[in-house]
Structure 1
Amino acid sequence: MDINRYSQINPPQRLLMGPGPINADPRVLRAMSTQLIGQYDPVMTHYMNEVMELYRKIFCTDNYWTMLINGTSRAGIEAILLSAICPGDKVLVPVFGRFGYLLCEIAHRCRAKVNLLETQWGTVFTPDQIEDEIKKIKPKFLLIVHGDTSTTMIQPLKDIGEICKKYHVIFYTDATASIGGNELETDLWGLDAVSAGMQKCLGGPSGTAPITISHQMKEIIRHRKCVEKGIRTVEHKDGDGEIIYSNYFDISMIMDYWGPERLNHHTEATTALFGARECARVILKDGLKKNIARHKLHGDAMLKGIQGMGLKLFGNIEHKMHNILGVIIPKGVNGEQVRKFMLEDFGIEIGTSFGPLHGKIWRIGTMGYNARKDCVLQTLACLEQVLNLVGFPMIPGAAVESALEHYSLENIHV
């Protein structure tokens, strides 16, 4: 082995304007470069308590059990579902994009009886549609994505909590793509459990999943029993039909670690915790409402610029997330070629999509640290140049002019 073949990591400079991850806030990166301390050092446990306090504000909740799962956003999803769902539980999953199918898959692994409710990609559900399905199926759990980046749509949740309460249904949402950049009211909307991720509107790197669970959900998790030897654990079924037990994603054990008992479960990812703490601190220092307004401002500016370029938008724009936009790839334009030029010539990454939308739309994000005027204008100017290069007709400068007009109307000059 020639160790000289392996140079120090030095990735190229990229402006990440896709559906996530995004460029992490430099303040978060600085926090993550801090030296490690022991997991039971009083300073460390104090930081863990601060993280719980900070994320209660991010989730808009009084839930005591608001903490971090060490792993990407999917780890947060799995921890909640694997810890709460028992084999045979009825689950309803309204799906309006790719990540709804992910909830279905995980619920199937929990051996739940999964009921799927689908709508056309680019649309969302009305409360009446969900209530009708709840009345028909009588599920124990409702699992729904808040903002699905595959379609760029956000599902209104405000009225669904009351429906779940009315029919005694436990209400979970995946807020990975929405939290911090869109309104999310855990307590006010009656959410029993929410999971999130760091790499989008929160402005950090992937690898940590903040979660919050209500008292009712906590009781379900605490009293979940394995059929073997009365041991509380998490279980799912593998391809051979055997029951597999998860220790790592057992939230009841994780609560014992984060709670006052400080019972050993795993070694907390110190660097990731420092980063997650800084993400929340930065947002709350400016104000959560202000952070959401910032995402809307720059998301709307990107939308105006794309429209000024003569491009069409995907889906029902009334239900678009603040932080991401679906752009229909024009006929005759090679979408992957455009993405390649953007990345290699301008150092800007924009996304494609999944399933039926793969190769049909670009997904352009304005989130986290990249929800800024300069990022929006730079992306629009470069996209315009690339589209001119591949022969798409447009008025030169129209995109940036439309965005600047939006900023001018909003009295934004920085």
Structure 2
Amino acid sequence: MGPGPINAHPRVLRAMSADLLGQFDPEMTGYMNQVMALYRPIFGTENRWTMLIDGTARSAIEASLISLAQPGDTVLVINFGRFGLLLTEILERIGARIETVDAPWGEIVPTDRVAEAIRRVKPKVVATVHGDTSTTMAQPLEGLGGLCREVGAFSYVDATATLGGMPIETDRWGIDIVTAGLQKCLGGPSGSAPITISDRAAEHIFTRRHVEKGIRRDDIADGSGPRIASNYFDLAMIMDYWSEKRLNHHTEATTMLYGARECARVALGEGLEARFARHASAGAAMEAGLAALGLAIFGGTENRMTNVTGAWIPEGVDGEAVRAAMRDHFEIEIGTAFGPLAGRIWRFGAMGYNARKDTILTTLAALEACLAMNGFAVTRGEAVPAALAAWEARA
């Protein structure tokens, strides 16, 4: 019950136990086409280029950034937590010129500040995280694509922690590339990364591939000029593999594709609106229960993620001792924190298969016992009823 990964849905695990298929087997390529169709509504898009990157969520982040930007390009990062910093680290390795517009951890960057920064910097790419689990905040994305197009920039969003749990409106927001992972709201294992790419971004990626093929290796030996992208993370090559051409790029991770396919089937079978409502109910119940235990909730309420809730560790309580007790006595994992929040807050996830009433009530009952055994003067018997009431108020 931490910020992810979470327990995979049993249907996903069963799907992943099926026999392997060759990567060019017609049944396998049929599954690839199904995956593309299944993930379009989950991303809120009609994009042709909606597919999977074989690797963890970070593989799709890196593939996107190295295929959009090249050395010397200016990239604006909207940074409000640990995973905004990850974007800057990847971009530094590319050799991009990085500008940031920042917010303190526990806040988001207001849209007017984002707009001002885009118009001032005029970047090649604008990159941000949607929901940053390190801070439990969700950055508003309405209008971001339009702001980027004003200055001719491409937009990239990491939705690893929110896809399948909060609405992602790729087309309506005008975002060029959105990526995610399975291990959070989609209820699967880490190791496959859904991605959607606009036609505009696809044209740029394919055009850049053709330009770079004409560059002699000697011309870039000193690091000047465009660099040819990574082979494994070259989106143009991966897109060729997912196209009707089926040009070989790598051996497809068949088992992970089965899992990703079933994650999407589960999500669409439940219905996206119902799924978003369930995550909102779970987040409200977790928040109400934590507050009833006497814990102060971290961060502002208006832009909080529905699937991850932070709570301040009470003064005088050993946060790691409580986490160890939860794990040792109840087999429940809750999250610690990064950076300036390390040792100061716990993070509680309620997402995907774990965004259920029973898991939340069990977690809160266990936490009550563990807080008491670690010397916190908790009021007994109030957390579960408070969480139950919050859940049912949204039913």
User: Shorter-chain TM-score category?
Assistant: over 0.9
Deviation for aligned residue 1:87: 1.3
Paired letter, 1:391 = G
Which of 402, 407, 411 aligns to 2:386? It is 402
Question: Residues 206, 229 of structure 1: CA spacing in aligned structure 2 closer, same or farther, 3 A cutoff?
Answer: closer
Tell me, in whole angstroms, the C-alpha distance in 1 between the residues paired with 2:125 and 2:222.
22
Aligned position for 1:113:
97
| Secondary structure class of the residue paired with 1:349 | coil
Q: C-alpha distance in 1, partners of 2:391/2:44? A: 29
Deviation at 1:225, TM superposition (A): 4.5
| Contact 1:152/1:325 (<8 A) preserved | yes
Aligned equivalent of 2:373:
389
2:145, 2:48 → 1: CA distance?
20
TM-score with structure 2 setting the length: 0.96
Task: Note the C-alpha offset of 1:366.
Answer: 0.1
State yes or no: 1:214 paired with 2:198.
Answer: yes
Give the Å deviation of 1:183.
Answer: 1.4
Using the alignment, how far apart are the partners of 1:245 and 1:136 within structure 2? 28
Structure 2: any 5+ residue segments left out of the alignment? none
Cα distance between partner residues in 2 of 1:232 and 1:144: 34
- Give deviations 1:97-147, integer Å, cap 9, x for gaps: 000011011111111111122111100011110111112111111000000
1:249 has 2:233 as partner: yes
Structure 2 letter corresponding to 1:76: A
CA distance in 2 between partners of 1:219 and 1:227 (Å): 12
- 1:39 corresponds to which residue? 23
Unaligned stretches of 5+ in structure 1? 1-16
Which of 127, 131, 137 aligns to 2:115? It is 131
CA distance in 1, matches of 2:279, 2:221: 41
Amino acid in the other structure paired with 1:276:
A
Shift of 1:394: 2.0
Aligned to 1:99: 83
- Pair 271,318 (structure 1): closer, same or farther in 2 beyond 3 Å: same
Over aligned residue pairs, what C-alpha RMSD do you find? Answer: 2.0
Which segment is superposed worse, 108-117 or 338-347? Answer: 108-117
Partner amino acid, structure 2, of 1:116: T
Letter in 2 for 1:386: C
Q: Secondary structure at the match of 1:317?
A: coil
Alpha-carbon separation, structure 2, partners of 1:136 and 1:270: 45
Q: Measured at CA, do residues 238 and 183 of structure 1 come closer, stay the same or move farther in structure 2, by a change above 3 Å?
A: farther
Pairing 1:264–2:239 present: no
Identity of aligned residues (%): 57
Q: Deviations over 1:149-168 (max 9, x none)?
A: 00000001012222222222
Paired residues for 1:22-171 under 5 Å? 22-171=6-155
> Which residue of the other structure, out of 330, 334, 346, is the alignment partner of 1:346?
330
Tell me the CA shift for residue 238 of structure 1: 12
1:110/1:325 CA distance change after superposition, 3 Å: same
1:281-331 C-alpha deviation (Å, 9 max, x unpaired): 010011111111110011110110001111001111211101000110000
Give the conservation status (yes or no) of the 8 Å contact 1:109–1:238: no
| Residue in structure 1 matched with residue 299 of structure 2 by the alignment | 315
Partners of 1:215 and 1:238 in 2: CA distance:
33
After TM superposition, which residue ranges in structure 1, 4 or more long, deviate above 6 angstroms? Answer: 236-239
- 1:305 is matched with 289
8 Å CA contact 1:237–1:244 kept in 2: the answer is no
Q: TM-score, normalised by structure 1?
A: 0.91
- Indicate the SS of the match to 2:141: coil
Structure 2 contact 101–113 (Cα < 8 Å) conserved: no
Q: State the 1:246 CA deviation.
A: 1.4
Task: Give the Cα–Cα distance (whole angstroms) in 2 for the partners of residues 249 and 311 of structure 1.
Answer: 43
In the other structure, the counterpart of 1:362 is 346
2:269 is matched with which residue?
A: 285
Note the 1:180-195 alignment, pairs <5 A: 180-195=164-179
Aligned length: 391
Structure 1 residue matching 2:170: 3-state secondary structure: coil
